[in-house]
Structure 1
Amino acid sequence: MKNLLFLGLFLLLFTSCKTENDSLPVVKSRVFTSVAVDTLLQEEISIRAILIDSNTVWYAGSKGQYGSIDLGTDKRFSGHVTKDTLSLEFRSIAKTKESIFILNVGTPALLYRISKDGSRIKKMYQENHPKAFYDSMQFWNDEEGIAIGDPTDDCLSVVITRDGGTTWNKVSCENLPKVREGEAAFAASNTNLVVKGSETWMVSGGTKSRVFYSADKGQKWSVVETPIVQGEAMTGIFTADFYDAKNGFIAGGNYEKLTQNFGNKAITKDGGKTWKLIAEKEGFGYASCVQYVPNSRGEQLVSVGASGLYYSSTAGEKWSKLSGDSSLYTIRFMNDSTAIGAGKDKIVRLRFK
């Protein structure tokens, strides 16, 4: 009787210690084996900057062009920025609740705010330094945003807004880690800058391939080395993404050796403090954009670049080629099975199956 009583008490304690989540079934993410593509836009434009705002795709590209596509109604808007005789090329795009922001590469650096109905566009920042070349832009929230670019001095160029994009101020190199000679950033897909909450990561290439980190929305910065290929002008990290504050992925390679598929992918599980090469001599070569699949627990990624479109369901250890299209430069997910891609002369919708 005592043994039975003891067993009953043990079972009661065991079941009472189980959490609510213990009783829930583990949902395994679906593994993709193919992708269906339909074209949303096809015209003469190079697009490396896209974002998804609810059911609308915004883009900015070459020849001063920008615009939007409502995926529900197919309502389209297109605009064009001219500046003297310059042919502007926009490779950075970001949004707040009220506005869209676009930023060109080259000098002068020109940052514009666009109303979401397309009726108003206004220049918010200009930088005339002959070395100005901005690569990427993101917002932490509706008031605070950041854009990064190549060095004009001995640090990466960083401009920050704290008032919703009305004013932008360049951060002094006294408050940023110094770069090495020949170290810069690549404007490949608006993904060499990543924000999660208050945390920020920006990545470099060239003579050094490093990750710069701020825990406090750009107030203080540190920098860590990575094992990504480096040492030449067109080597390094071209793209980065973080699934959450701990799990991240960087990719790139050698733009002059597009099929080289080693030294071009690395993973972190500690928020970017340390990086480990992964999938050496496996999968894609040079990549211009890598993105985590939403709701995949950090296990699924998609990459686009010179080798085509690749997919991993093993956190980047193994990759499968889903498309040979090498003309896509950038990609963003709408949900856990649909993404928008853009590149040379087109925007496409990608449905993963």
Structure 2
Amino acid sequence: MAVGVACGAALAALTAPAAGARPLGQGGAEPAGGVTANSGRGAVHWAVKDTGTPQVRFRGLAAVDRHTAWLAGTGGTVLRTTDGGASWRNVSPPGAADAQFRDVTAFDARRAVVLAIGEGEASRVYRTDDGGTTWTESFRNTDPKAFYDCLTFFDRRHGLALSDPVDGKFRLLSTDDGGRSWRVLPSDGMPPALEGEAGFAASGQCLVASGPRDVWLATGGGAHARVLHSADRGLTWTAADTPIPAGDPAKGVFALAFRDRTHGLAVGGDYRPDQSSPRSAAVSADGGRTWRAAATPPPAYRSGAAWLPHSRTAALAVGPTGTDLTTDGGRSWRTIDTASYDTVACTPDLGCWAAGEQGRVARLER
């Protein structure tokens, strides 16, 4: 079946489930490691894939297509599948067992870049060109004031990595050779950071790009949860407040998703499980210049978001208490699954993947 036809049918099944179908994850037993479909014949659902790594939390996820995905997690762990999650190869960089990988970008089944977070030299970047058989450490942070959170690429050559503020401004690394080398960008065009403001290394989505030059970064911890936008690959920035609550180190915007340079989603809240997260989602229709709160937001903190391919209005948001779906461009959300995921990503062939704690990984299937 043609990809467009297959994707259209699957998307229709997700956004308009059969009459009488139950939401994903509700009703029936939940197997160990996650929730599978119990929502009627033919319904789209998260199908859990066994990674064999229950001790790892995967916050870094790069979906290449329905067959190929890369995971980056705790304990210096990097996994790769090329058969839709039926099997996973441990391709972790040697000597990096102490690394806390939080983000990964994959260009295909062989080429990928991973980011380790932490203070000082704990923040590092590695690149592979042979499917993880060998790795090259292309960046190691030597500034004790820097703490890198996430990275993004505009194309196969040009990318950025984001650090929490250094000397009062967010710091950015830039690469123009696919992550083989990096340089610190000048901060002249970066607005001052708010007191206590930082990024969240929760899902690899605190820095996202759309198109050849536009990039956005998400913040929290300050008096306001903000989204900063650059239209020149990180040289100059403008800042906009969002309605997502902040004012505390645990609160703010945790993830962004832009389906083009105009339409964006922001999700977040308070990551502490004993705290509520009102106004946990916002939407922008002007490239991030202004944001309005979702009329019906997800019911709890969410750390990851992704637009569904071949749709102008449908997207997913994930977090420790479940997955939510919007079919109206982010104005309203409904919970469709109750399993814990930290990050989510989709590809043009509807290869949507999610990953999180206890080695949990799932692919959208029907």
Relative to the length of structure 2, the TM-score reads: 0.82
Instruction: Indicate the residue corresponding to 2:352 in structure 1.
Output: 339
How far apart, CA to CA, are the structure 1 residues paired with 2:322 and 2:105? 26
How far apart, CA to CA, are the structure 2 residues paired with 1:290 and 1:52? 13
Instruction: Indicate the residue corresponding to 1:14 in structure 2.
Output: none
SS at match of 1:173: coil
CA RMSD of aligned residues (A): 2.3
Instruction: Indicate the residue corresponding to 1:37 in structure 2.
Output: 47
How far apart, CA to CA, are the structure 1 residues paired with 2:74 and 2:341? 15
Contact 1:32-1:352 within 8 A present in 2 as well: no
Report which stretch shifted further, 63-72 or 251-260: 251-260
How far apart, CA to CA, are the structure 2 residues paired with 1:338 and 1:139? 19
How far apart, CA to CA, are the structure 1 residues paired with 2:145 and 2:52? 33
Gaps of at least 5 residues in structure 1 are 1-26
How far apart, CA to CA, are the structure 1 residues paired with 2:274 and 2:294? 18
Letter in 2 for 1:309: T
How far apart, CA to CA, are the structure 1 residues paired with 2:88 and 2:247? 44
Instruction: Indicate the residue corresponding to 2:302 in structure 1.
Output: 287
SS at match of 1:45: coil
- Identify the match of residue 263 of structure 2 among 222, 242, 247: 247
How far apart, CA to CA, are the structure 1 residues paired with 2:86 and 2:273? 39
Letter in 2 for 1:47: F
Instruction: Indicate the residue corresponding to 1:79 in structure 2.
Output: 91
Instruction: Indicate the residue corresponding to 2:311 in structure 1.
Output: 296
How many residue pairs were aligned?
323
How far apart, CA to CA, are the structure 1 residues paired with 2:114 and 2:271? 25
SS at match of 2:51: strand
User: After the TM superposition, which residues 221-260 of structure 1 pair with which residues of structure 2 at under 5 Å, given as runs?
Assistant: 221-256=237-272, 260=276
How far apart, CA to CA, are the structure 2 residues paired with 1:247 and 1:324? 27
How far apart, CA to CA, are the structure 1 residues paired with 2:363 and 2:91? 25
Does residue 1:133 correspond to 2:147, yes or no?
yes
Greater fraction of residues in strand: 1
Larger Rg: 1
Instruction: Indicate the residue corresponding to 1:4 in structure 2.
Output: none
Contact 2:305-2:345 within 8 A present in 1 as well: no
Report the CA distance shift for 1:87/1:32 in structure 2 as closer, same or farther (over 3 A): farther
How far off its partner does 1:83 sit?
5.1
Instruction: Indicate the residue corresponding to 2:186 in structure 1.
Output: 172
Contact 1:258-1:286 within 8 A present in 2 as well: no
Instruction: Indicate the residue corresponding to 2:58 in structure 1.
Output: 47
User: After the TM superposition, which residues 50-61 of structure 1 pair with which residues of structure 2 at under 5 Å, given as runs?
Assistant: 50-54=61-65, 55-61=67-73
Higher relative contact order (CA 8 A, sep 6+): 2
How far off its partner does 1:75 sit?
5.6
How far apart, CA to CA, are the structure 1 residues paired with 2:84 and 2:291? 41
How far apart, CA to CA, are the structure 1 residues paired with 2:84 and 2:52? 18
How far off its partner does 1:68 sit?
0.5
Contact 2:197-2:221 within 8 A present in 1 as well: yes
Instruction: Indicate the residue corresponding to 2:30 in structure 1.
Output: none
How far off its partner does 1:352 sit?
5.5
Letter in 2 for 1:301: A
How far apart, CA to CA, are the structure 2 residues paired with 1:127 and 1:40? 34
Gaps of at least 5 residues in structure 2 are 1-7, 18-23, 25-44
How far off its partner does 1:163 sit?
2.4
SS at match of 1:164: coil
